[in-house]
Structure 1
Amino acid sequence: MKHPDEHQQEIRELIKDVVTDTVTPSSRRGERDTEYRRRILSAARMLLETNDIESVTMHQIAKESGVGQGTLYRRYTHIGDVCSDLIKSTTNRFIDMIEDKYTNMHPIGSGLDQLSACIHDVIDFVDENVALLSIISSMHGEKRHYTIHKKPFFVRLRNILAPLIQHAIQNNEIKDLDVTLTVNTLLISLFPEQYLYHKDTLGYTKQQYTEGICRLFVKGI
């Protein structure tokens, strides 16, 4: 199992590389659009790392990226659209990484050890992106038909975690249990709002929160 600092470094590399997550341009216009997107997301990431997310404006992003406001608004209606694009790229890279780590490339040993390591990875990611994730979640939460359980990020995480618990059952590490209910409850506890509440309101450190979640959903089952 990797040291927590190595997990943190992996997450940081994902965030640093997010602005390179672009399609290959097939024309001069496509190349220009790709460059605009790269500059916009790079500027947005820098501003969000150094300012409160609520204080960042479209004007600041346009100025920092060197892209005209008209060009910016043709691509993004408001700051929420920029954040959505940024976090979509970031989360896709993160999910791709842990899918490779826990399902595609690495043989499974102990299901519970893998579950614990995956929880550490997710909380590291949430901790690095908690403000941005919370804003996006609250934006979606205002939509009448929004269901978090159907969002791709939630579904893909569930499809990673459930087999780890099932493997632990089959490997006689734990007794049989309701895998669906356990995984859904675990994922709710990993939501950025839950993490932020425990960290900022109740004073939990990231280590305390991670150990508590593992105590409930790894040792506890």
Structure 2
Amino acid sequence: MLQRTERKDAAKHRELILKTATQLFDTQGVDSVSMHQIAKTAGIGQGTLYRRYACKADLCIELLMDSFQQFIDDNNQYLSDAALIPVRERLDTFLTKWIDYIAGNIQWLNAIRPSSICSEDHIKIYRSPAFTYVTDTIKGLLDEAVSQKNTLPLNTAFAAFNIASSLCPEAFLFLHNDKSLSPEQIKEHFSNFYVNLLFRQP
């Protein structure tokens, strides 16, 4: 009975923490909110918060999990429904959907990125489920295009990795903030560069 009560309390704490963090992040921005503020606003001890989330990045990762799973489900449904649509169009649509996802979740993605590009944590990004899913999806579409001779001959694994890594949140932030490109412009440029280039006939 005691164990069941503890599990119920843990679930309530998790729900309360995520709800509180989301509200604070939405109103103040992720960078401006501290773990102390989250615990205080939620009315729980900092020890309770840190036992579940060692840092703010861990909390942001959990907040991202639901939205990323929804992205996967929606995209897999699209690819299934659009199986007869030319692969060039499907690749273009997938890249557009991925950029839209980054744009819509940039504050969370920005909060969990490693502080140093040379750190081991940065390399781990390339092994993450999100990066793996994006890379595998692009590779699958390119494999289909190559088999149908709809694109230039290429190493699809290498091409998929480079496309996915160039669509990372850091690149999006740089293009959006430093180069003043809107999400629509970024999508257009990526489409013109990758899709038009890859599917240009020799």
Distance 1:152 1:141 in 2: 19
**Greater C-alpha Rg:** 2
1:112 partnered with 2:62: no
Find the counterpart in structure 2 of residue 156 from structure 1: 133
Aligned residue for 2:114, secondary structure, equals helix
1:84 partnered with 2:58: no
Normalised to the residue count of structure 2, the TM-score between the two structures is: 0.84
Structure 1 outlier segments of 4+, above 4 Å: 139-143
Find the counterpart in structure 2 of residue 29 from structure 1: 6
1:136 partnered with 2:78: no
Shift of residue 188, structure 1, vs aligned partner: 1.4
Aligned counterpart for 2:39 among listed residues 62, 79, 94:
62
Distance 2:99 2:28 in 1: 22
Gaps in structure 2 of 5+ consecutive residues: none
Cα deviation digits, residues 6-49 of structure 1 (max 9, x gap):
xxxxxxxxxxxxxxxxxxxx933222212211121121122222
Shift of residue 140, structure 1, vs aligned partner: 8.0
**2:35 partner letter:** M
1:124 partnered with 2:100: yes
Shift of residue 84, structure 1, vs aligned partner: 2.6
Normalised to the residue count of structure 1, the TM-score between the two structures is: 0.78
Find the counterpart in structure 2 of residue 165 from structure 1: 142
Shift of residue 206, structure 1, vs aligned partner: 0.6
Aligned counterpart for 2:181 among listed residues 182, 204, 219:
204
Aligned residues of 1:47 and 1:56 also touching (Cα < 8 A): yes
Gaps in structure 1 of 5+ consecutive residues: 1-25
Shift of residue 156, structure 1, vs aligned partner: 1.4
* Greater Cα offset, 193-202 or 88-97: 88-97
Shift of residue 86, structure 1, vs aligned partner: 1.9
Aligned residues of 1:95 and 1:153 also touching (Cα < 8 A): no
Aligned residue for 2:158, secondary structure, equals helix
| Equivalent residue pairs, number | 195
1:217 partnered with 2:167: no
Shift of residue 142, structure 1, vs aligned partner: 6.4
Distance 1:28 1:108 in 2: 52
Aligned residues of 1:126 and 1:192 also touching (Cα < 8 A): yes
* Greater Cα offset, 57-66 or 182-191: 57-66
Identity %: 26
- Cα 1:123–1:117 change in 2 (3 A) is same
Aligned residues of 2:39 and 2:49 also touching (Cα < 8 A): yes
Find the counterpart in structure 2 of residue 95 from structure 1: 72
Aligned counterpart for 1:46 among listed residues 16, 23, 31:
23
Shift of residue 87, structure 1, vs aligned partner: 2.5
RMSD value over aligned CA atoms? Answer: 2.3
